[in-house]
Structure 1
Amino acid sequence: MRLPAAGPGRCRVHGGGGMRPRDEVTVHQLLGRISYFHVLFIEPALASAPAAAGGELCCNHRTPSGPARPDAGGLLAHGAWAVLDEVAATLGTWAGRCPSHGPACCATCRVAGSAAAVADAWLATEHRAYQRPEPHGPMRQACREAAAARLTRVFVHQHHAPCPAAQVGETAGAWLLPGTGELPLTGELLALWRDPLSGGGSPVVSWLNHCTDLDDIRRVLDTRRPTP
């Protein structure tokens, strides 16, 4: 996967259906930040993993089928949200992916699944890079749920594409989510998407823009730890 030409936090703006122009710009910037940081920090450090078992069928592949929903091949292929699909593709056959994964999949289900997979991969990769124990199951579940719920909520608002995936809440507990002082990349990802259109300011970890790899981030974290 190549670095976005526009640099960190930027990507091209494509038309959307349910947002003010400035809100669309905000969403596209946040998607660009995911893509940029994944390519720069996470992808080079990804551990090879066996193919994960597929999850439940998406809305468009279930039997009996409900009303047809916008598909990934149409709604995601040429818009800014395509970068999330591209990032998830670097993870191989990620857990929870529709067994009939393809362009006919429900676009909203795809966003939810991709967001969960990306957050889980970032969480595990940061733990390894900073020489911390593997994250426990409840923390991984909380991160997956939070990422899926937060990104899907914005996607549905922008494209008017509701589906059952958009109704999944964050049930695992917010206290399990890592903060930016612990895991800067995963913590910032979850914080930025908590309520990105509120206008209350973005919790960007600005010093990340001066790092070039996970070792740089680890060194910064080491300098910020309280001295015993």
Structure 2
Amino acid sequence: MRILLADDDEQLQRALRITLTARGYDVVAARDGAEAIDLAASAHPDLLLLDLGMPKVDGVDVIRAVRAWSKVPIVVLSGRADSAEKVDALDAGADDYVTKPFAMDELLARIRARARAASGDETDAAAVAIGDLTVDLAARTVRAAASADGGGATSVRLTPTEWRLLELFLKNPGKLLTRQMLLGEVWGPYHANDAGYLRLYVAQLRRKLEPTPSEPRFFLTEPGMGYRFEP
């Protein structure tokens, strides 16, 4: 797997190159936004790790430029703490966001999640497990396993809107989905600011699908930004 690492912090870039190379990744590096765009086209990376505060071309503009012709997974690395800037990056086409300083194990897990999603190992599966439940996207069914006392499998009923929301989560495992994106996809462009709809339906999915709805394990909130489905 080839990773394009675009970051102007030489010390961090060197540390990441050593770590990623040691784990078997082929790493190419860019030190400014213009070089990142050129290498995204010429080096054919399988994933782009991108700092937002890049010289010459800002990271968000790099994302927009790459997204004009490529679906390569983009994971943003940035010390910018403003959630509005994170949302801008995600809405521009980034797949995930990791805030500096970050734990290397977390970054590696995000890379693996993006690689699985891009290869179709997760998104093409008709059936997805959520705890003890099995969701069949083709048949549009949710079933719980048979109970230990011999009872048969039980089904969970979802409304059409709950299904549309659930499908977006399941087809984007590990990816941070912004509130605007979810509202636009499920309710349409005229409801982009109706966050109450989204909170209500995420709460309903948790109530029906989470083992402990008050302590969600699968449908996670990213404060100020949106939600993430963690298989």
Structure 2-normalised TM-score?
0.28
Bigger share in helix: 1
Structure 1-normalised TM-score?
0.28
Bigger-Rg structure (1/2)? 2
RCO (CA 8 Å, sep 6+): is it higher in 1 or 2? 1
